[in-house]
């Protein structure tokens, strides 16, 4: 009995001790002058952080504000990074003719202010919480496709360019492209650049390169196929290289005889002058890829195909251009006319690796981004050899 009472007294004492400890813990400590100083210092740090964040969320770029006006400096703001987004500090932008078409609303789908740029290379500067494949410091590139449903059968195979619900272009529906200091994109559509490719060379591959690589990869089905490249410009000079590296017999078709030497350096086995040499080359080619941005006779191009040959159209002239097909030639020759739009993530990864391994590179001219309007005029005039790459020169 005495032992039981002793245990009971000890238990009560323990409870009182615990209660005192809890009360002591719950009672706020008396703040001294030191606490006040620390609080003021924390407030300063918070204000500094907010100022830094505000600066990071402000984006400088170049935009078209009207289809009849040149690009001008433009500032916009963005919110916090989404869980699957990354920020890219842009170092290089390929200047594609599509940027020019979009800036002047040639295709009737532009929204203003319009920040061009869909051949973007730079360094990852920030990642969302769910991004796993990329980290700050990685060198990446972004092309024409910025998003897709990623759940349809085509997307599941990496063919996001054929998304059944429709992919989202980097510079459509009010989205801002790469002509800015920092570009925000979905991490799934940012591609690591192989070390063997320098950034100026990599940029044009993200649109021009994939645009010709994908259809050539799809239609060159055996060695030594006869492939012709119509138009030797920003797209065509890359198509010559890819077709040669894929094992085809390659012919360059151009209306400018002075390009023959360069075409052979790019990989062409043969050179054909458009219109002048057409009659001598009827029924010669298994594949013709038309990269010309001007309106070219489809009937005339098809006459150059072999039976069961394929004409691939990748150039898109402005002004709502249409095609007229000779149905007798199409049916009796069992010929095909197909279109091709850039490429999905699977082809993009393969194309970059193929280019790095086989040394496929565009011939580029570099100009500072601040000279973007002069660069666009240079491209429009047809003087660019063969892709213009804009280098970031923000101060």
Q: How many CB atoms lie within 10 A of CB 260?
A: 17
Instruction: State percent of the chain over pLDDT 90.
Output: 81
Average pLDDT, the chain: 89
How far are the Cα atoms of 34, 168, 186, 364 from residue 82, in angstroms, in the given order?
Answer: 39, 17, 9, 34
| C-alpha–C-alpha distance, residues 281 and 271, integer Å | 11
Q: Examine the pLDDT at 43 and tell me if it is beyond 70.
A: no
Model confidence pLDDT, tens digit, residues 358-387: 999 999 999 999 999 999 999 999 899 999
Fold of 57-207+343-391: Quinone Oxidoreductase; Chain A, domain 1 (3.90.180)
Average pLDDT over residues 15-21: 42
Model confidence pLDDT, tens digit, residues 126-183: 999 999 999 999 999 999 999 999 999 999 999 999 999 999 999 988 899 999 999 9
Q: Examine the pLDDT at 39 and tell me if it is beyond 80.
A: no
Quote the pLDDT of residue 15: 42
Q: How many CB atoms lie within 10 A of CB 53?
A: 11
Q: At 284, is the pLDDT very low, low, confident or very high (cuts 50, 70, 90)?
A: very high
CATH for the stretch 210-339: 3.40.50.720
Q: Examine the pLDDT at 14 and tell me if it is beyond 60.
A: no
Burial class (CB in 10 A: 0-12, 13-18, 19+), 63: buried
Whether 340 contacts 313, CB under 8 Å: yes
| C-alpha–C-alpha distance, residues 247 and 96, integer Å | 28
Burial class (CB in 10 A: 0-12, 13-18, 19+), 128: middle
Average pLDDT over residues 101-122: 94
Backbone angles phi, psi at 270, to 5 degrees: -135, 160
Quick one: tokens of 347?
A: 């082809």
- Residue count of the chain, please give it: 395
Quick one: tokens of 129?
A: 């919480």
Quote the pLDDT of residue 56: 60
Average pLDDT over residues 20-24: 41
Model confidence pLDDT, tens digit, residues 69-97: 999 999 999 999 999 999 999 999 999 99
Dihedral of CA 120/124/128/132: which sign? positive
Going by their DSSP bridges, the two strands 336-339 and 72-77 should be labelled as unpaired
Quote the pLDDT of residue 173: 83
Residue given tokens 């691939």 in the structure block: 312
| C-alpha–C-alpha distance, residues 237 and 234, integer Å | 6
Domain segments of the chain: what residues? 57-207+343-391, 210-339
Three-class SS of the chain: CHHHHHHHHHHHHHHHHHHHHHHHHHCCCCCCHHHHHHHHHHHHHHHHHHHHHHHHCEEEEEEECCCCCCCEEEEEECCCCCCCEEEEEEEEEEECHHHHHHHCCCCCCCCCCECCCCCEEEEEEEECCCCCCCCCCCEEEECCEEECCCCCHHHHCCCHHHCCCCCEECCCCCCCCCCECEEEEEHHHCEECCCCCCHHHHHHHHHHHHHHHHHHHHHCCCCCCEEEEECCCCCHHHHHHHHHHCCCEEEEEECCHHHHHHHHHHCCCEEEECCCCCHHHCCCEEEEEECCCCCCCHHHHHHCEEEEEEEEECCCCCCCCCCCCCHHHHHHCCCEEEECCCCCHHHHHHHHHHHHHHCCCCCEEEEEHHHHHHHHHHHHCCCCCCEEEEECCCC
């Amino acid at each position: 009995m005495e032992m039981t009472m002793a245990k009971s007294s000890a238990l009560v004492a323990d409870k009182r001790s615990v209660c005192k400890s809890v009360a002591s813990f719950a009672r706020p400590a008396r703040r001294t002058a030191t606490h006040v100083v620390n609080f003021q210092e924390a407030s300063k740090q918070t204000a500094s952080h907010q100022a830094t964040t505000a600066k990071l969320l402000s984006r400088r770029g170049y935009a078209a504000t009207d289809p009849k006006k040149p690009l001008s400096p433009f500032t916009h703001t963005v919110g916090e990074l989404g869980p699957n987004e990354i920020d890219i500090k842009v170092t290089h932008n390929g200047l594609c003719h599509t940027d020019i078409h979009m800036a002047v609303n040639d295709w009737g789908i532009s929204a203003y202010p319009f920040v061009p740029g869909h051949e973007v290379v730079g360094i990852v500067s920030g990642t969302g919480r769910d991004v796993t494949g990329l980290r700050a410091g990685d060198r990446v590139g972004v092309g024409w496709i910025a998003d897709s449903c990623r759940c349809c059968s085509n997307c599941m195979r990496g063919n996001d360019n054929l998304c059944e619900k429709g992919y989202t272009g980097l510079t459509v529906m009010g989205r801002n492209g790469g002509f800015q200091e920092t570009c925000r994109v979905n991490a799934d559509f940012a591609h690591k650049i192989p070390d063997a490719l320098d950034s100026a060379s990599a940029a044009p591959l993200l649109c021009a390169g994939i645009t010709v690589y994908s259809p050539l990869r799809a239609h060159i089905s055996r060695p030594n196929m006869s492939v012709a490249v119509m138009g030797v410009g920003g797209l065509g000079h890359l198509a010559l290289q890819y077709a040669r590296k894929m094992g085809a017999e390659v012919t360059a078709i151009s209306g400018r005889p002075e390009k023959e030497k360069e075409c052979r350096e790019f990989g062409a086995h043969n050179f054909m002058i458009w219109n002048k040499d057409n009659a001598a080359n009827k029924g010669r080619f298994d594949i013709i890829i038309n990269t010309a941005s001007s309106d070219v006779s489809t009937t005339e191009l098809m006459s150059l195909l072999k039976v069961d040959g394929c004409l691939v159209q990748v150039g898109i002239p402005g002004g709502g251009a249409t095609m007229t097909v000779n149905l007798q030639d199409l049916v009796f020759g069992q010929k095909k006319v197909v279109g091709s739009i850039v490429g999905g993530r699977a082809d993009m990864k393969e194309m970059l690796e193929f280019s790095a391994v086989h040394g496929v590179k565009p011939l580029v001219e570099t100009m500072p981004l601040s000279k973007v309007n002069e660069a666009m005029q240079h491209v429009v005039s047809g003087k660019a050899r063969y892709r213009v790459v804009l280098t970031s020169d923000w101060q």
